[in-house]
Amino acid sequence: MTIFIAADHRGFELKNKLIEYIQEKNIRIEDLGAYEYNSVDDYPDFAKKVAEAVLQNPEEFLGIVICGSGVGVSITVNRFKGIRCGLGFKPDQVKHIREHDHINILSLASDYVDDAIAQKLVDSFLSTQPRKEEKYLRRVKKLDEI
C-alpha cells in the first residue's frame, strides 16, 4: 500500500505531522505538496496531484487531502472518475464510508480536527477494507457510471 498526501497552506502543518505518524507505522507515504508554507497557495493544485496518483493504481494506492474545511480538496478530487473521497470527522464515520462507499481518498479539515483526532481518522481509514457484498459493489458501480 502507498499513501499519497497533500495539503494547502491551511493543512500544511497537519500534513507534515501525519507524514511522520504514518511513517512510524512503516507504511509508504509520498508527499505531493505543499512543500513549504505559502499563505496564498491554492488547494486544487495539491488535491489534483493526489487524485492523479491514486488513479495510477487504485487497488494499491490511497490518498489523504487536507485543507482548512476539508471540503475544497474533497470537491476537487471527486471530480476525477474513479475517485471516491469522503470528509472524515469521526473514526466510526470514516470506517463506515471506507466500508460502504469504498472511499479511496480521505479528506481532513485542519481547522476542525486536532492532531490526535486526525491520527485516529487516518488509522480508521487505513485499517478498514471496503466491503464486497453485492449491494455495496452495486452502489459503487452506479457512482462510477455517473
Question: CATH number of the domain that 16 lies in?
Answer: 3.40.1400.10
pLDDT of residue 144: 86
pTM: 0.97
Provide the residue range defining the domain that includes 83.
Answer: 2-145
> Annotated catalytic residue: which of 9, 67, 85, 102?
67
Which grid cell sits at 5? 498526501
Q: How high is the pLDDT of residue 14?
A: 98
From the list 85, 96, 100, 102, the catalytic residue is: 100
Say whether 100 is catalytic.
yes
Angle (CA) 12 15 18, round 5°: 155
Q: Quick one: pLDDT at residue 117? A: 98
| pLDDT tens-place string over residues 87-125 | 999 999 999 999 999 999 999 999 999 999 999 999 999
85 catalytic per annotation: no
In this structure, are strands 28-31 and 2-7 parallel, antiparallel, or unpaired?
Answer: parallel
Q: Which residues neighbour 25 within 8 Å (Cβ) at sequence distance 6 or greater?
A: 126
Count the domains in the chain.
1
Instruction: Check residue 26 and give its pLDDT.
Output: 96
What is the pLDDT at residue 146?
87
The three-state (H, E, C) secondary structure of the chain, written as one string? CEEEEEECCCCHHHHHHHHHHHHHCCCEEEECCCCCCCCCCCHHHHHHHHHHHHHHCCCCEEEEEEECCCHHHHHHHCCCCCCCEEECCCHHHHHHHHHHHCCCEEEEECCCCCHHHHHHHHHHHHHCCCCCCHHHHHHHHHHHHC
| Residues of the chain under the 70 pLDDT cut | none
